Amino acid sequence: MIRVNKFYDTLCANGIDFFTGVPDSLLKDFCAYVMDHTPGKQNIIAANEGAAVGIAAGHYMASGRLPLVYMQNSGLGNTVNPLLSLADEKVYGLPLLLLIGWRGEPGVHDEPQHVKQGEVTLDLLEAMQIPYTVLVQEEKQALEQVYRMIKEVKEKNCPHAIVIRKGLFDEYKLRNKVCHDYPLSREEALKLIVQYLGKKDVVVSTTGKLSRELFELRETLQQEHERDFLTVGSMGYSSSIALGIALEKPEKTVWCLDGDGAFIMHMGAITNIGALAPKNYRHIIFNNGAHESVGGQPTLGFQIDMPAIGQACGYRHIYSVVTREEIERILPRLQQCEGPVLLELRVKINSRADLGRPTTTPLENKKHFIAFLSNE
């Protein structure tokens, strides 16, 4: 096991003092340590992993110093374009150190959405011709590996990936947590929304704990799961999935239950939603200002005006609420007005320690959901 402070100190001793990326559960201890020990502008939590590569590239060209980009392996897809058409040695030849959490590693139990990505992670790096090193567990050897990688990246002027297995870093708890006093948890706000939905309404829920809470809430209320599409992976794409459904099923009200991190990750999708203006589209953003599922590092959720962004992109009605009473007052209005509608719910970070996971497979979810959509 590697102590995060030793890993961080090794990076800094070798000239790496700039970090950017999207937090990951396998990297949460390292990301938390960076958050607590690095000045704000030297650690940028990016909208998505591709944006992080761009930020890192700009940092290197402006400073001449090697940056580190951190991500979950699922985020590799977002980086393919900038890694191959910007950083690659056949284009601009930019030295970047990539730190990648290996979710779904073959032989290690993980959730269904990570299995395929885990199987192809190393193959994908090889296909992109990005050198990689799977870090060993013994600390001294691992730090020697890091030293050699940094030396090679600087010499060859090209990206190099460090692949991190599950349980490699020792535990470190984030000290600089997102703090606010909003009265409702996400689960409490979600219950108010779900209890109001009609039996024919369609739900597309975002990745992370929200979909897990939705599944358990349906169980508690003894309701069927067939009307819910749980976007267990594909962070940031729930709003686009919901848009595709809303356009094909104008007779059904479609509710996208989104998160702040997911909304920000692929915010460009709302330009399509606003321009196409499906009247049956309801976009609910549960904003807790944090990447809660992967360690609690902050998003920019509380630093941007989501309703104003929605309005500028063409949403017909926008709202932002905080209390139970405000939610209960606004829900009838959401049903009656023409969409697209955007509702921001500001909530506190407070998920249950005993929160379970869906007991159905993604394929079962898809089968039942499609059958529900087919019923007029």
The CATH number of whichever domain residue 362 belongs to comes to: 3.40.50.970
What pLDDT is stored for residue 335 in this prediction? 85
Q: Is residue 45 part of a domain?
A: yes
Cα(323)–Cα(196) distance, integer angstroms: 16
What pLDDT is stored for residue 200 in this prediction? 93
Confidence class of residue 50 from pLDDT cuts 50, 70 and 90?
very high
Tell me the pairing of strands 290-291 and 297-298: antiparallel
Q: Is residue 175 part of a domain?
A: no
The residue among 164, 195, 222 that closes a domain is 164
Cα(28)–Cα(7) distance, integer angstroms: 14
Q: What is the DSSP letter of 251?
A: T
Same domain, 9 and 114: yes
Confidence class of residue 176 from pLDDT cuts 50, 70 and 90?
confident
Cα(310)–Cα(340) distance, integer angstroms: 9
Q: Is residue 71 part of a domain?
A: yes
Same domain, 156 and 46: yes
What digits encode the pLDDT tens for the residues 59-104?
999 999 999 999 999 999 999 999 999 999 999 999 999 999 999 9
Q: Check: CB of residue 206 under 8 Å from CB of residue 180.
A: no
Same domain, 91 and 232: no
Global confidence as pTM: 0.94
Q: Is residue 177 part of a domain?
A: no
Q: Residue 95: give the domain boundaries.
A: 4-164
Confidence class of residue 376 from pLDDT cuts 50, 70 and 90?
low
Same domain, 195 and 155: no
Report the candidate in 73, 77, 78 with the shortest Cα–Cα distance to residue 24. Answer: 73
Same domain, 128 and 228: no
Cα(71)–Cα(52) distance, integer angstroms: 9
The number of distinct structural domains making up the chain is 2
Q: How far is CA 179 from the centre of its chain?
A: 20
Q: Check: CB of residue 94 under 8 Å from CB of residue 16.
A: no
The residue among 131, 164, 197 that closes a domain is 164
Calculate the average pLDDT of the chain. 94
Same domain, 111 and 216: no
Q: Is residue 169 part of a domain?
A: no
Q: Is residue 105 part of a domain?
A: yes
Q: Which residues pair with 164 in a beta bridge?
A: 101
In the structure encoding, which two tokens stand for residue 19, read together? Answer: 């970090």
Same domain, 289 and 344: yes
Q: Is residue 250 part of a domain?
A: yes
Q: Check: CB of residue 259 under 8 Å from CB of residue 208.
A: yes
What pLDDT is stored for residue 75 in this prediction? 95
Same domain, 124 and 214: no
Same domain, 228 and 321: yes
Same domain, 243 and 146: no
The residue among 113, 130, 164 that closes a domain is 164
Q: Is residue 146 part of a domain?
A: yes
Same domain, 245 and 153: no
120: left (phi over 0), alpha (psi -120 to 50) or beta: alpha
Same domain, 51 and 122: yes
The answer on pLDDT for 208 being more than 90 is no
